[in-house]
Amino acid sequence: GKTTIILRCLDRDEPAKPTLALEYTYGRRAKGHNTPKDIAHFWELGGGTSLLDLISVPITSDTLRTFSIVLVLDLSKPNDLWPTMENLLQATKNHIDKVIMKLGKTNSKAASEMRQKMWSTMPKDHPDRELIDPFPIPLVIIGSKYDIFQDFDPEKRKVICKTLRFVAHYYGASLMFASKSEALLLKIRGVINQLAFGIDKSKSICVDQNKPLFITAGLDSLCHIGSPPVPDNDIGKLQAHSPMELWKKVYEKLFPPKSINPLKATQDPARDPQHAESEVDEMRAQKDQELEQYKRSSSKTWKQIELDT
């Protein structure tokens, strides 16, 4: 998961705990002898898609120019994968666009530089430059729990791999799969360090669906990814207004999303036994009881007013 990856990147040997809302930590790295250390700030969003509003806390006009997004998706839950990815990326992109627009009113040069920087991961002679829409800031997509995913049916693995390759390439993002394997975590650590401290970017690539994918931004192509994995006679029946929508329909045909309200699906942290604190919980129970009594008495009062009128 996200916390394990962050702890590994920071060389912290401690057990990963479930993320509560938006959590912050930082890492430092020395550039050389007798020089100030570089500091990287890590903001980790928990709760799946239920806490999207918190995205606006770390992403501001002051932080945007050095900000990167790492989206961690659970490969063991393919039916949740597309809606989770779509909601998180869309909410993040919408917020970033607003920040860039606001920045443009006070510093048009900085906003212009940011828009140009979006294309930095894509080589100028890449054949797909006219067909993609890079994410406003550097983006890395990590598929976690590869150890479970590798035992999936080969055809299902093929659809998930091809779909994630398309999405990552369309957004000018890097894509890689992770598990508890030390070798995979080391590769992920290298990518995170590159984002955080500007260390040389890896140029390695693995597109074999029978192995953990590892594709640095700009090294894939639509030609190598191929068309959506659906019979040719069926592709014309799918009504889609864009390539992204077409891939979504093909993916959700095999992995229909579960119709669960993410707000209801997420457990209330205040009632999570692992965060139990007897004094706080007793006070909370008392306040809940007082609130219910207030609601009942308010309801009676309003009914009485209605009767009186």
Residues 266/47, Cβ–Cβ less than 8 Å: yes
Please give the Cα distance from 43 to 68 (Å, whole number).
10
> Is 70 exceeded by the pLDDT of residue 154?
yes
| Structure-token match 């007793």, residue found | 282
State the CB neighbour count (10 A cutoff) for residue 52: 18
State the CB neighbour count (10 A cutoff) for residue 232: 7
* pLDDT band of 263, cuts 50, 70, 90: very low
State the CB neighbour count (10 A cutoff) for residue 186: 10
| Region 203-228 average pLDDT | 91
| Region 265-269 average pLDDT | 52
Separation of CA 87 from chain center: 9
> Is 60 exceeded by the pLDDT of residue 300?
no
> Is 50 exceeded by the pLDDT of residue 262?
no
pLDDT in tens, 76-131: 999 999 999 999 999 999 999 999 999 888 888 888 888 888 888 888 899 999 99
What's the whole-model pTM score? 0.79
